[in-house]
Amino acid sequence: MTVTKQEIEAWVEADRDVLIKFAQDFIRCRSPNPPGDTIEASQHVRAFLDAHDLPYEIIAPNAVMPNIVSSFEGGAAGRHLALNGHIDVFPVEDESTWSQDPWGGALVDGKIYGRGSADMKCGTTASIFAYAYLHRIRAQLKGRLTLVVVSDEETFGPWGARYLAEHRPEVFGDCCLNGEPSGVSTVRFGEKGPLWLEFLIRTPGAHGAYTHMSASATVIASELIAELSKLKDTVVPDLGNLESAISSAATVIDGEYGAGAASIIRKVTVNPGLVAGGIKVNMVAAECRVQVDIRVPNGLTAKDILPRIDEITARHPGVTYRVILSEEPAWTSPDAEMVDYVRQNAKRLSGVDPAPIISLGATDARLWRYKGLPAIVYGPAPRGMGSVDEHVPVEEFIHIVKCHALSAFDYLSR
């Protein structure tokens, strides 16, 4: 008997309590990165796959950062879809600032709280359960479905999806659906590229009363940061349908990500995230270290930005820099097939047609796009992501699970 989309939706609804408990327990498996140990969280995923007789492979180039890959063939030839999510999360800086235990997975007023709830254990749960539901009806589907649950995403490290891209490219398939935070009113078809730089400023230093004896490394750092901030005025090429998509979704973007978000999607942004200099208040600082997170919009690359960095650095004697990380911007067409499936299913489930947008932050989806493969991100809103009181409303979580299962079903039914 052929299973319908309505029946798949009913399966999700019937599993509501199971899904909530799975997500809560997933959050309770501490997996902050750094340090990046995801053994406990990966065991949680493995226990589910074992209980449902879903074979999988552990790929662990780093023993404490395992990746889990499971795959099945449909009943007829077709395309290969990958469902991708990660199990590492941001660290918690100060647990006392949270209203709920960041590692407790508490359900309060219809919301699941905890580090990684939005980024991205609820999205990864959606991938896992969608995979399990479709495995039940695999004979009815066409092609292949692969679950790719990875570690080491939060620091762009070499042990997760990047390792698979280089050593196991067959798991990438023809298309990717990812549950990173997007908000239910937007679907992400691309993202800006992170360019992380570390500047080192050195001067002779001096007694704090003898400012004539030496330039201050911290003063130079402040001047350097001021110049770097002007990169926001860099001219960005017009990319046609990408510009149209962002422009038409400006109000929705600001609604999901905060007022002003739409205005920076097509701009270079500069965040001096770490500034450390000097050793004593009454000494002229002899050394200062500045780490800067630059986000490069689509249409530009690091090669467009680094010559500007060289010019700025050259104006400040005693300043050197190195590239910590460079990942290029990436995007799929906003008219991609999977974008349409997600939009159609989301609208049918909630009445909201998610607007296609570019992401401010980076995800593993870029690795599919680097291979020329469409990769679409649809997940909960980033409430408290990387901050305090991270949480996901239960109804939003259930909606994401349904939308992933139904969109994957559509892709594997064509």
Each residue of 13-64: pLDDT tens digit?
999 999 999 999 999 999 999 999 999 999 999 999 999 999 999 999 999 9
> Domain 194-248+266-326, what architecture?
2-Layer Sandwich (3.30)
Mean pLDDT of the chain: 96
What pLDDT, on the 0 to 100 scale, is given for residue 258? 87
How far does Cα 405 stand from its chain's mean position?
Answer: 20
Q: What is the pLDDT of residue 240?
A: 85
Contact between residue 89 and residue 38 where contact means Cβ atoms under 8 Å apart: no
pLDDT, residue 245, reads 87
pLDDT score, position 361: 87
pLDDT in tens, 146-169: 999 999 999 888 999 999 999 999
* pTM over the 0.85 mark: yes
Q: pLDDT confidence of 344, banded at 50, 70, 90?
A: very high
Please measure the distance between the N-terminal and C-terminal CA atoms of the chain and give it in whole angstroms: 18
Q: In angstroms, rounded to a whole number, what is the distance separating the alpha carbons of residues 334 and 247?
A: 13
Over the stretch 292-340, which tens digit does the pLDDT of each residue have? 999 999 999 999 999 999 999 999 989 999 999 999 999 999 999 999 9
**pLDDT for residue 1 is more than 80:** no
5-191+329-411, CATH topology level? Aminopeptidase (3.40.630)
pLDDT at 155: 87
- Higher local confidence (pLDDT), 409 or 239: 409
Confidence class of residue 84 from pLDDT cuts 50, 70 and 90?
very high
SS (H, E, C) 185-250: CEEEEEECEEEEEEEEEECCCEECCCCCCCCCHHHHHHHHHHHHHHHHHCCCCCCCHHHHHHHHCH
What are the residue ranges spanned by the domains of the chain? 5-191+329-411, 194-248+266-326
